[in-house]
Structure 1
Amino acid sequence: MESKKILQMLDNYASEFEFPVLDNYNFDLAQCRLTVFKKQAEWLIIIEMVGARNDAIENVIYAYGNCIKQNGIIISVDNLVSLDNDEWWYDDDGKLVLNPLRLKLNIQQEQIEISPTKEDYKKYGIEMEPFSLTKLIRFLSSQYSEKLWLSTQELLMEVGIQNKMPMFFQIKEWEHPDISQGQVPSDSPFFQQLSNAIENNDISYIKLNKPNTHWSNWTWSDLDT
């Protein structure tokens, strides 16, 4: 495989908006993760975006590779976080049914119950009022980040790979191109390095420069602003 072909594939999907846009008008980012699988000449890049979309908390899965039939956005997993009583997030008047100072939730079927303060939210750059699903998932990300991801086996299953495929590389912070401003993956030093690493089977090609994937870098299009 050639790194140029990998970048060309990513660029093609970016031009069709089938590549993660971190300042998406319809989705507020809380955390993201990139995982690479590799087996001989086969390669696979999966990007997870956890965040809020109007009335749902989701993990949106994107995948690219030479070993899968479908590339681009694959699925949106919307059952990661739920109220403990299985009620809907909003009442009949459209008001969020949630007390930000007393959270009783299920995260991937595990029950949590915490009582954060306004200062706890503020410590992570979150103004508690008015409360929203965006602020909830960003706070949960600060406390339970690892619980919000899919397992490697779940990721492979979601993209249609039944057999085991070794994980080659995984990262939560990298320099992501600003797709909404016309940038493409090949403009990003990180994706240039990543494609070289895949081609040469050597992760030492990857040198982190200016990571920008923290949600605080992509708030101008937030749904609740």
Structure 2
Amino acid sequence: MEANDILTQLDKCAAEFKLPHPDNGYFYAVDVRMHLYRDPGRWALIIETVGYNPRMGNLVNVVGTYGNCLITGEPGWENESFHDRVENMEEIDDQETYAGGIPMVVRGRTPAVEAEPGEPLEVVFRRLVPEYRDLILADEAETQSRIPGDLPKVLQLEEWHQPEDIETLPSTSETYQQIAEVLASGDVGRYRPSLSPNTHWSNWPDSGTL
């Protein structure tokens, strides 16, 4: 299991726009998380990207899955990889602004988030972070739905440095080079970033603007 083989798969997915990026013009960026799984012969990388997609009409967690041991589908995402988080969008959505008068329901809970009628929904949804981020990020069943259940997790990242240009291939990115080294070797010490994290939504002002 070589780092170059891992990067080759990620490069192919990136070239086919099957690798998530916070600067997605159709998603207002809200939150991210990354999971690394491996054993001596298998590897898997899960990248969560949570964002408000007005076209899909919800706050959506897209769970991208990559690896050499997928139990279903191809690297990237399938229809089942898109997880709506708000259960009462029809009640709180007034032409992409908060309707007011009723709290949002997120996975069966009503988080105490301050919101005024008329506020853009992406602004309201971003207030779920950090207190309620575990409501919008994936649970274990969602994260591991396409990988073997016995594959050990070796690293979880809450933030990282994402290349600013969406066309940058992972093989040329320090972040993904080091992630590939961890997955190939099992040595988490090989993830030693020199670049500051930039995956917070505030670093991507053009996300969701198409």
TM-score norm. by structure 1 comes to 0.81
Q: Aligned residue for 1:201?
A: 186
1:57–1:133: 8 Å Cα contact kept in structure 2? no
Are the aligned partners of 1:38 and 1:165 in contact in 2 as well (CA < 8 Å)?
A: yes
Q: In the alignment, what sits opposite 1:77? A: 83
Root-mean-square deviation over aligned CA pairs: 2.3
Mapped to 2, the partners of 1:192 and 1:215 lie a distance apart of: 23
Give the TM-score, by structure 2 length: 0.86
CA distance in 1, matches of 2:139, 2:165: 27
Identity of aligned residues (%): 28
Does the 8 Å contact 1:14/1:179 carry over to 2? no
Q: Structure 2 CA distance, aligned partners of 1:221 and 1:199? A: 32
- State the alpha-carbon separation in 2 of the partners of residues 173 and 13 from structure 1: 21
Structure 2: give runs of 5+ residues left out of the alignment: none
Aligned to 2:143: 155
Contact 2:99 2:118 in 1 (8 A): no
TM-superposed deviation, 1:130 = 5.6
Counterpart for residue 63 of structure 1: 65
Amino acid in the other structure paired with 1:155: T
Shift of 1:108: 1.6
Who is 1:125 aligned against?
none
Q: Higher Cα Rg: structure 1 or 2?
A: 1
Consecutive unaligned residues in structure 1, runs of 5 or more: 118-127
TM-aligned CA deviation for residue 8 of structure 1: 1.2
Q: Cα distance, 1:71 vs. partner?
A: 0.6
Look up the match of 2:173. 188
- Correspondence for 1:96: 97
Structure 2 vs 1, CA of residues 47 and 87 (structure 1 numbering), >3 Å: closer, same or farther?
same
* 1:95 Cα offset (Å): 6.2
Asked if the contact 1:56/1:133 (under 8 Å) is kept, the reply is no
Aligned partners of 1:221, 1:130: CA distance in 2, in Å?
20
Higher relative contact order (CA 8 A, sep 6+): 2
Paired amino acid for 1:212: N
Structure with bigger strand share is 1
Kindly indicate whether the alpha-carbon contact (under 8 Å) linking 1:103 and 1:113 is maintained by their aligned counterparts in 2: no
Letter in 1 for 2:157: I
Q: What is the match of residue 106 of structure 1? A: 105
Over 3 Å counting, the alpha-carbon distance change for 1:201 and 1:162 in structure 2 is closer
Aligned residue for 1:120? none
Distance 2:103 2:118 in 1: 19
Residues 218, 130 of structure 1: alpha-carbon distance in 2 compared, 3 angstrom cutoff: farther
Equivalents in 2 of 1:28, 1:169: separation in Å?
26
Paired AA for residue 81 in structure 1: V
Change (3 A) 1:222 1:130: farther
Q: Which residue of 1 aligns with 2:162?
A: 176
How many residue pairs align between the two structures? 203
